[in-house]
Amino acid sequence: MTTATLDVSVWRGGAQGRYETYQVPLRENQTVLDVVTWVQRNLDATLSYRFACRVGMCGSCAMTVNGRPRWTCRTHVAKVAKHGRLTIAPLENLPVIKDLAADMTPFFEKWQAAKGVFAPSKTREQPVEQITPDNAARRAADAGIECINCGVCYAACDTVRWNSDYLGPAALNRAWTLVNDVRDAGNAARLTAVAAAGGCHACHSHQSCQEHCPLALNPTASIAGLKRRTLQAYLRGEIKP
């Protein structure tokens, strides 16, 4: 009895490399991460890839599957393998370390450059800030706060691909959540950072980020918010690009 198989092309190598094809047994319930793991355990132990939780919480397993950036642990083979074929590559727009592992360093450097870091305004001696969940600023922050820095939006974004200065959807989305955090004291520096070349104004609203975000976040909307805030700040003379 022959089991059905999947033809899986996997990127091997670094920036220079090639696709190697493996035959993987097709199962009824199978994720792309299951497929990659099967290849590494049964066919080629030298295959490098990343994963951690396997259950769609950590974002470590993000890869390019049939041309789209996805979490491989949450991508069922049945949904994406047309005609029994799968092509798996590392995330786009990032340097490749080896095989399916991309280097997230530039992603996090841009996170820092967008000032995606909370700057406290109070000390422990002061009373805790009362924040109601239904005020407009908190709702705006909450809409983007679930980001786990998986890099899928960054990999999907063509503006990131075409403009090496562009901070990218994730970094700007985080900056927006902090701009809306009333406890944060870092807005002057943050708005200046996102109003510079490569900041929020470089976004063309392609919305590939929103289209691909596994948590259904909307960086385009966050970036639109940043465009409005920086414009206001600029017109008031609060920032000078």
Contact set with another protein (CB under 8 A): 64, 66-69, 87, 89, 92, 156, 158-159, 162-163, 195-197, 199, 201-202, 204-208, 211-212, 218, 220-221, 224, 227-228, 230-231, 234-235, 239, 241
Rounded-to-integer distance, Cα 123 and Cα 213, Å: 36
Rounded-to-integer distance, Cα 234 and Cα 239, Å: 5
* Nearer to another protein among residue 42 and residue 232 (C-beta): 232
Which residue reads 């994963």 in tokens?
51
| Least gap, CB of 204 to another protein (angstroms) | 5
| Least gap, CB of 48 to another protein (angstroms) | 20
Which residue reads 């198989």 in tokens?
5
* Nearer to another protein among residue 104 and residue 153 (C-beta): 153
| Least gap, CB of 166 to another protein (angstroms) | 9
Which residue reads 């890869």 in tokens?
63
Joined together, the tokens standing for residue 235 give 């017109």
| Least gap, CB of 183 to another protein (angstroms) | 25
How far, in Å, are 26, 90, 195 from residue 56 at the CA level? Answer: 22, 18, 34
* Nearer to another protein among residue 118 and residue 238 (C-beta): 238
| Least gap, CB of 231 to another protein (angstroms) | 6
* Nearer to another protein among residue 79 and residue 228 (C-beta): 228
Neighbours of 192 (CB within 10 A): 18
Contact 131, 142 (CB under 8 A): no
- SS3 label, residue 12: strand
* Nearer to another protein among residue 33 and residue 193 (C-beta): 193
